[in-house]
A and B are shown apart, each in its own frame.
Chain A
Amino acid sequence: MSTEAAPTKKLSPNSIVRARRRAALRRFTSAFGRDRGGMLGLVIIVVFFALALLAPLLFDRSELDVTQATADPYLPPSRTYWLGTDDSGRNVLALVIWGARISLLVGLSATVLSMFIGTSIGIMSGHFRGVTGGAMDRVTEWFLVIPYLPLAIVLATVLGKSIWVIIVVIGVTSWPGTARIIRAQTLSVGSRAYLERARVLGGSNWHQMGRHVLPNVMPLVLANTTLAVSISILSETTLSFLGLGDPTAVSWGSILETAFDNGAISLGAWWYLAAPGLCVVLVVMSFNFMGRAIEGILDPREQGA
């Protein structure tokens, strides 16, 4: 496997692949860096992650405890309480920052689960022809049709209230869209010559899927992941707002739930509602902007536009 035009040290196939991947990554990062929306999204997300990680340093956990709250309830934003206080006198800023931990944790974990299910089913249903692939495609279509929120509500009601249940519920209800996209890509990869070669040389199905199909659908998976995170975070907010979240954990959705239940609307406590909601909007929007930027870079039709 020597390349004649290589005066340098021996180039193994692996190092060629590595060099090519490094170059592709460099092209990608520089294209992404030129996308203003994508970069803005990235910065906002980094800030939110930093706040979530630093939460214990910024506010003590005891600030979340209703019994230890010292301030008056429903104080509007002031010098001491930047975002005001809630119905039991807790600092809304502390709630929102601690809430970021749960909201981001649930959003990311659910996305990983959903991408894993969606990618595996998508690749397999595109790779296996005949009954297996057909059956998987059918199941994907069925899940695509079941209305998403009612299904999530039913599952969460049946399985009980905890963070892990919420993660699983979002993960198992949001994969069909991904599976659809990955399947289409797998079908188009399936007709290429190198896959034919792998098949003729006796590569097993798993080898073909793992070594040849997966790397080809990976960029699409990544672009989809950023969009899936925003859907997961929105779902977490909705489910927690409906009271299906972990009752002991503070997330953006559960803050909105307590605010609504305690009549923040009729009391005009706008800060109590605005703060967690704006966090959701900012994070979701940032992931959407990033997703669009990645899609634009990967989709040749968008180039030069």
Chain B
Amino acid sequence: MTLFQEAGVDAAPSALARAGRLAGPSTRYVAKRIFAALGTFAFVVVFNFFLFRLLPGDPIALYTKGRDVDPAQMRALRSTLNQPVLQQFVNYLKNPFSQDASSVKYNLPAWEVIGTRVWPTVLLVGTATLLATIIGVWLGVRSAWARGERFDKVSTNTTLVLYSMPEFWFGMILLIVFSAGVFGLPGLFPSGGLSTPGVDTSSPLGWLNVGWHLFLPVTTLTVIYLSEYSLIMRASLIDEMGQDYLQTARAKGLKEKMVRRHHAVPNAMLPTMTLIFLNLGFVVGGAITIEYVFSINGLGSLTVDALRGPDIPLLQSLFLLFSAAVIAANLFADLLYGRLDPRVRT
């Protein structure tokens, strides 16, 4: 973003640049990141509109398939779609989250359907990301510090293999071993769902039940993500290990453990944390197949439902939601990075 800097060099600084200088570097950084995120979101909205105009066939048939639609409503829909594309686009831009877009399958506004499905996904993906971050960082630190030793070799090779797996396949294998019970194993875990029907999920016993149901899907996602996080952590810590300040710390007489914990790891954490947030796009993708395999009623299974239909209005809204979530996560990562590392705050 050279725009601001160039304006600042100008003989007559623009009001914007003056404001930026008054506000100080960190406010300017925050404003810049927020503007960039808004720009990206605007692109996604525009893209989302035109993408679905590429659909072959009669859109009305797609939008209303399998429903009894009131002829008056049908006429209204037809007249909206008969408007010039530009007019439709302007209407769409007015409110991309409007209640008009109605899901074909559920016969409800798409955003209402989505609203009921958010929490299972947040629970699943949130738990898995948290666990994967903790275990992945720990593994990465240990292998980097013992670089080339047995632990490092075993852990790096294992993570490379895990990283090469389709996550839903790993989930299916866990299911067949621990739930269907092949090779004479007892079925330890339920085959799917979020809780046993009839169990009150607000009671402590209900939480245990949910935990028991989530054990396999969370394990699957955790194992898949942690492989990537530990590879990143290992690489960034190895980058950091050659730095002079670590030598200084050792020269001061600090124990190796202190050098690692208080000097090297905090610096190596920066790129890892950013990548974990940037990865949220990938995380959302993983949740789609995992929820489908473990029949968890979240946004992922809803996406599979929507593409099977195809339920175009629902798919369109889901796509917008996923993109918005990733953009928000990226913005958060940028701001966090700016807070933790003053060097990027220019």
Give residues in A with beta carbon < 8 Å to B.
138, 141-142, 145-151, 153-160, 230, 234, 237-238, 241-244, 253, 256, 260, 264-268, 270, 273-274, 277, 280-281, 284-285, 288-289, 292
Q: Other than the known A141-B36, A242-B304, A284-B165, what 20 A-B pairs have Cβ atoms closer than 8 Å?
A: A142-B44, A146-B47, A149-B288, A150-B322, A153-B303, A154-B319, A155-B51, A157-B315, A241-B166, A242-B307, A243-B308, A265-B179, A267-B180, A270-B177, A273-B169, A273-B173, A277-B165, A280-B165, A284-B164, A285-B160
Please state if A280 and B303 are interface contacts (CB–CB under 8 Å).
no
In whole angstroms, what is the CA distance A158 to B282 when docked?
A: 21
Rounded to whole Å, the gap between the CB of A129 and the closest CB of chain B is: 10
How far does the Cβ of B189 sit from chain A's closest Cβ, in whole Å? 12
Q: How would you classify the secondary structure of chain A's contact residues: helix, strand, loop or mixed?
A: helix
Residue of A nearest to B3 (CB): A134
Nearest-Cβ distance from residue A132 to partner chain B, whole angstroms: 15
Q: How many residues of B contact A (CB 8 A)?
A: 54
Interface string of B176-200 (1 = CB under 8 A from A): 1101111000000001000000000
Determine if A277 and B319 form an interchain contact, defined as CB atoms under 8 angstroms apart.
Answer: no
Q: Which residues of A contact B138 (CB under 8 A)?
A: none
Cβ contacts under 8 Å, B207 to chain A:
none
Residues of A near B318 (CB, < 8 A) are 150
Q: Of B15-23, B105-113, B255-263, B323-331, which stretch is located at the interface? A: B323-331
Do residues A265 and B176 form an inter-chain contact, with CB atoms below 8 A? Answer: yes
Return chain A residues, CB-CB under 8 Å to B40: 141-142, 145
- Smallest CB gap from B282: residue in A: A148
- 28 residue pairs of the A-B complex, CB under 8 angstroms, read A145-B44, A146-B323, A147-B284, A147-B285, A149-B285, A150-B318, A150-B323, A154-B51, A157-B312, A159-B54, A238-B285, A241-B166, A241-B168, A242-B307, A253-B166, A256-B172, A260-B172, A264-B176, A265-B179, A265-B180, A268-B181, A270-B182, A273-B169, A277-B172, A280-B164, A280-B169, A285-B160, A288-B160
Asked if B233 is at the interface of the complex by the 8 Å CB criterion, the answer is no
B176 touches A158 (CB 8 A): no
A150 and B172 alpha carbons, distance in the complex (Å): 21
Determine if A146 and B281 form an interchain contact, defined as CB atoms under 8 angstroms apart. Answer: yes
* Contact B176 A273, beta carbon cutoff 8 Å: yes
- Smallest CB gap from A267: residue in B: B180
B-side interface mostly? helix
Give the Cβ gap from B346 to chain A, nearest Cβ, in Å: 17
B121 within 8 A of A: no
Q: Mark B276-300, 1 if CB is under 8 A from A, else 0.
A: 0000011011101100110000000
B204 at the A interface (CB under 8 A): no
Chain B residues, Cβ within 8 Å of A145: 40, 44, 281, 323, 326-327, 330
Q: Given A145-B330, A242-B304, A266-B191, A288 and B169 touching (CB < 8 A)?
A: no
Minimum distance in angstroms from B247 CB to a CB of chain A? 18
Among B44, B307, B327, find the residue whose CB has the most chain A CB atoms closer than 10 A.
Answer: B307
Closest residue of chain B to A160 (Cβ to Cβ) is B56
* A268–B326 CB distance below 8 A: no
Is the CB of B151 closer than 8 A to any CB of chain A? no
Residues of A within 8 A of B154 (CB): none
Contact (Cβ within 8 A) B289 A158 = no
Q: Is B11 an interface residue (CB 8 A)?
A: no
Name which of A157, A256, A277, A289 has the most chain B CB atoms within 10 A of its CB: A157
Return A80 CB to nearest CB of chain B, in Å.
21
- Whether the Cβ atoms of B285 and A150 lie closer than 8 Å is yes
Is B212 on the interface with A (CB-CB < 8 A)? no
Is B163 in contact with chain A by the CB < 8 A criterion? yes
A146 vs chain B, min Cβ distance (A):
5
- B175 within 8 A of partner (CB): yes
Given contacts A142-B43, A147-B281, A273-B173, contact A266 B163 (CB under 8 A): no
Bound-state CA distance A267–B182 (Å) is 9
Residues of B contacting A156 in the complex (Cβ-Cβ under 8 angstroms) = 307
Complex A-B, nearest 8 residue pairs according to Cβ-Cβ distance, in ascending order: A149-B285, A147-B281, A285-B164, A277-B169, A284-B164, A268-B182, A150-B322, A142-B43
Out of B52, B160, B286, B315, which one reaches A289, CB within 8 Å? B160
Across the two chains, which residue of chain A brings its CB closest to B168?
A: A241
Q: Are A268 and B176 in contact (CB under 8 A)?
A: yes
Instruction: Map CB proximity to A onto B231-250 as digits: 1 under 8 Å, 0 otherwise.
Output: 00000000000000000000
Query: Which of B285, B304, B310 contacts A148 (CB under 8 A)?
Result: B285
Q: Which residue of B lies closest to A234 (CB)?
A: B166
> Chain A contacts of B181 at CB under 8 A?
268
Determine if B90 is an interface residue (Cβ-Cβ < 8 Å).
no
1/0 per residue, CB under 8 A from A, across B302-341: the answer is 0110011010100110110011011100100000000000
Question: In the assembled complex, which residues on chain B have CB atoms less than 8 Å from the CB atom of A280?
Answer: 164-166, 169
User: Bound complex: CA of A230 vs CA of B36, how far in Å?
Assistant: 31
Chain B 25-54, CB-CB to A under 8 Å as 1, else 0, gives 000000000001001100110010001101
Interface pair B172/A265, CB less than 8 Å apart = yes
Give the chain A neighbours of B130 by CB distance below 8 A.
Answer: none
Cα distance A128–B166 in the bound complex, in angstroms: 39
Please determine whether B55 and A158 come into contact, CB atoms closer than 8 angstroms.
Answer: yes
In the complex, what distance in Å separates the CA atom of A61 from the CA atom of B312?
Answer: 37
